[in-house]
Structure 1
Amino acid sequence: MKVMYILSIIPFIGMLGFLPFVNRVEPFVFSMPFVMFWVVMWTLLTSLILGIMYKLDPRNKEGDGK
């Protein structure tokens, strides 16, 4: 269960914790300023991490019937 807690804090730290360090316009990544790319990347990574947390959660396996 500790893995679930660690996974839940990673997006928060990544998106908000490192934002002051990546707050710059250049370089451009995929035609976006770096800070915008950073937020978009962490939005996608948050969805991925939440999917992993869903698969690891033992409460989701109770009613499977398999």
Structure 2
Amino acid sequence: MKVLYVLTLVPFIGILGFLPFINRIEPYVLGMPFYMFWMAMWVVLTSAVLAVMYKLDPRNREGEEE
């Protein structure tokens, strides 16, 4: 297994691994309870992690000419 694919564990650990620690209402962040903000933040971060994986994957560079 490529080391690059280990990045897929980052969102999994961020969402489920820290769940017992962030399961609270206070404080409010951007007008949302902290738990809701945490989930919304990880939706965005998951997209960013997958974009980085796509850019770093050598199989996606096969058709490019430089």
Q: Fold conserved (TM > 0.5)?
A: yes
Corresponding position of 1:23: 23
Which amino acid is the alignment partner of residue 48 of structure 1? A
- CA-based RMSD of the aligned residues comes to 0.9
Q: Which amino acid aligns with 2:6?
A: I
Q: Give the letter aligned to residue 39 of structure 1.
A: M
**TM-score, normalized by length of structure 2?**
0.91
Q: Which runs of 5+ in 2 are unaligned?
A: none
Unmatched runs of 5 consecutive residues or more in structure 1:
none
Equivalenced residue count is: 65
Q: How far, CA to CA, are the matches of 1:38 and 1:48 in structure 2? A: 15
Q: Tell me the equivalent position of 1:46.
A: 46
Task: Please give the TM-score of this superposition, normalised by the length of structure 1.
Answer: 0.91
Q: Percent identity?
A: 60
Which runs of at least 4 in structure 1 moved beyond 3 Å after TM superposition? none
1:55 aligns with 2:55: yes
